Amino acid sequence: MEITDVRLTKKAGEDRLEAYGSITLDGDFVINGIKVMRSKEGNLYVSYPSRRNQQGDYKDICYPMTQTLREDIHMKVISKFEEL
């Protein structure tokens, strides 16, 4: 799978949320609701769309199945964020 588009909007004034947006895979499939978050240690990471279950835990709705795709998404989303 190839990430063909990354769209982000910076979010100022939030605690750990730095940006939100979407990615497009192979020009055919869009995932809305991704977030660029800052960890307590100050590192940036990509958060995937999630929902809260009945126990109050958050579970990702969609996510990459391979480490290679996860790393590719991370690199492209963080790179786009740094361009903003």
* pTM given for the model: 0.90
31-52 confidence digits (pLDDT tens): 999 999 999 999 999 999 999 9
Q: Does domain 3-83 have CATH number 3.20.20.100?
A: no
Q: Which residues contact 29 (CB under 8 A, 6 or more apart)?
A: none
52-83 confidence digits (pLDDT tens): 999 999 999 999 999 999 999 999 999 999 99
Please state, in angstroms and rounded to a whole number, the distance separating the CA atoms of residues 80 and 74: 10
